[in-house]
Amino acid sequence: MRTDQYLQKWLDNYRSEDISFLDEILDESVIFSSPVIFKSIEGKEMTKLYLMSAGESFNMDRFEYVKTIVQDCYCVLEFETFIDEISVNGVDIITWNDEGKIIDFKVMVRPLKAIEKVKEKMMESLEQFNNKEA
């Protein structure tokens, strides 16, 4: 399978309410880099948690990938969306291994007020997930 086929699994499912596809495409040792936390997050379970929180933070009805670059085992996906009424522009930088599993997922966001809003919404979402587990 080639990287564009791995990417298609992400594109077909990232809006889904059923996040079980993440178990199929995330490597156990995946590293997730958030635009609002300096230290990278390691492991599948924590990466799933952060990706689910991002999905709750962004307005997924207005989320759109506007540019895609694929080279070797890497993809850069530029996106646009809104959080509340703040326009968010960013990129997902994804690296796959030879088995089609994501081993590195980095998110970068601009402008500064969007980063601040992402942080606020992510913290709210992560708190809700922690309260559900407690």
pLDDT given for residue 1 in this prediction? 54
For residue 34, being part of any structural domain is answered with: yes
With contact defined as beta carbons under 8 Å apart, do 67 and 75 qualify? no
Structural domain including 30 reads: 3-120
Indicate the burial class of 105 (C-beta count within 10 angstroms; 0-12, 13-18, 19 or more).
Answer: buried
Instruction: Please name the residue that has the structure tokens 């799933």.
Output: 48
> Per-residue pLDDT tens for 7-51?
999 999 988 878 889 999 999 999 999 888 889 999 999 999 888
pTM: 0.88
> Per-residue pLDDT tens for 50-74?
888 888 778 888 999 999 999 999 9
Q: Amino acid identity of 63? A: F
pLDDT given for residue 98 in this prediction? 92
Q: Supply the CATH number for residue 95's domain.
A: 3.10.450.50
For residue 126, being part of any structural domain is answered with: no
